[in-house]
Amino acid sequence: MSNIEQYKILHSKDSTYGITGGAYIDEVCLFIDFLKPKTVLDYGCGKGALIKELSQRYQNIEFYGYDPAIPGRDKLPVEKADFVINTDVLEHIPEDELPLLIKEISQISQNVFFVLHHYPAEQILPNGENAHCTVKPPSWYYELLGRYFKDIVALESRSSFTSVVLTFKLLPEWIHKYNSLIEPYNLQNDIQRIQNELREQQDIFKILHKNDLNLLLFKYRFLRLISFGRKKQHYKQKVIMLKDIKKRLAW
């Protein structure tokens, strides 16, 4: 059974599967306001929740959806578009099929909003395999996308499990707008991650002041440096932070 057939079964059995694209509507609207496209294609649209909402907000723009696992949307509706949306799609595609698919997207438009997922999915396919058959780090995708797009702009994502790539350049003020847009999501994610990490680091942090947001974020930045800091200046920052943490937690 092909990969697409697996997803056809999922969509037919679960009415809620394939409707999460709407979660990114704020980001999509921001990029639409920046690009001012006349035609927009949601490539991998699932059940079409995102384009339905967008069509109501932007009545002067033509919105199209494509998804090979959805009857009625399983044929590309346009050869060219001013803007393409591709959210939580590439990780569902077998690795050896990705170059051809990305090439196809690049030929439709050079203005694409990618949301990439970097961890296994909760969803299991009918054949027993994980729905995310291609789990790669952001850098792997940057290299692959760079073969087909002139511009690769990496942005923070609203989720710790995902990353965002634009294939068009944003002006600085629009990057600021984007960062302001996702900041509440990042703050919420940070708090959850801090709580989880501190539970695992009880030998390091003896006291958790749940109501002290600044302290939570401070601890989180320290943990991130421990996990990912490799440069000399990172180690210097660790020492400074550790001393301050000891003082504040009264070690």
Of all residues in the chain, the percent with pLDDT exceeding 70 is: 70
Of all residues in the chain, the percent with pLDDT exceeding 90 is: 55
Q: How many CA atoms lie within 13 A of 247 on its CB side?
A: 6
Residue-level pLDDT at 183: 80
Residue-level pLDDT at 239: 53
Stretch 30-58: mean pLDDT, rounded? 96
Residue for token pair 């999915």: 121
Q: Residue 11 — pLDDT band, cuts 50, 70, 90?
A: confident
Residue-level pLDDT at 191: 55
CATH fold group of domain 3-169: Rossmann fold (3.40.50)
Q: Are 113 and 164 in contact (CB under 8 A)?
A: yes
The answer on pLDDT for 251 being more than 50 is: no
The answer on pLDDT for 197 being more than 60 is: no
The answer on pLDDT for 177 being more than 50 is: yes
3-state secondary structure the chain: CCHHHHHHHHHHHCCCCCCHHHHHHHHHHHHHHHHCCCEEEEECCCCCHHHHHHHHHCCCCEEEEECCCCCCCCCCCCCCCCEEEEECCHHHCCHHHHHHHHHHHHHHCCCEEEEEECCCCCCECCCCCECCCCCCCHHHHHHHHCCCCCCCEEECCCCCCEEEEECCCCCHHHHHHHHHHHHHHHHHHHHHHHHHHHHHCCCCCCCCCCCCHHHHHHHHHHHHHHHHCCCHHHHHHHHHHHHHHHHHCCC
> Picking from 80-89, 95-104, 189-198, which range would have the lowest pLDDT averaged per residue?
189-198
| CA distances, 100 to each of 82, 147, 221 (Å) | 20, 11, 39
Residue-level pLDDT at 31: 98
Q: What is the pLDDT of residues 101-139, one digit of tens each?
A: 999 999 999 999 999 999 998 888 888 899 999 999 999
Check the CA dihedral 138-144-119-70 and report its sign: positive
Residue for token pair 């409707």: 19
Residue-level pLDDT at 213: 53
Residue-level pLDDT at 231: 46
Stretch 185-209: mean pLDDT, rounded? 56
The answer on pLDDT for 89 being more than 50 is: yes
Stretch 216-224: mean pLDDT, rounded? 57
CA separation for the pair 211, 78 (Å, rounded): 52
Provide the β-strand partners of residue 116. Answer: 163
CA separation for the pair 155, 175 (Å, rounded): 9
C-alpha radius of gyration, the chain, whole number? 21
Check the CA dihedral 188-189-193-196 and report its sign: positive
In this prediction the pTM is 0.75
Would you list the domain boundaries of the chain? 3-169, 180-248
> What is the rounded (10 degree) CA torsion for 67, 68, 71, 73?
40
Structure tokens at 123: 């969803």
Q: What is the pLDDT of residues 228-247, one digit of tens each?
A: 444 444 545 555 555 565 55
- Average pLDDT score, the chain: 82
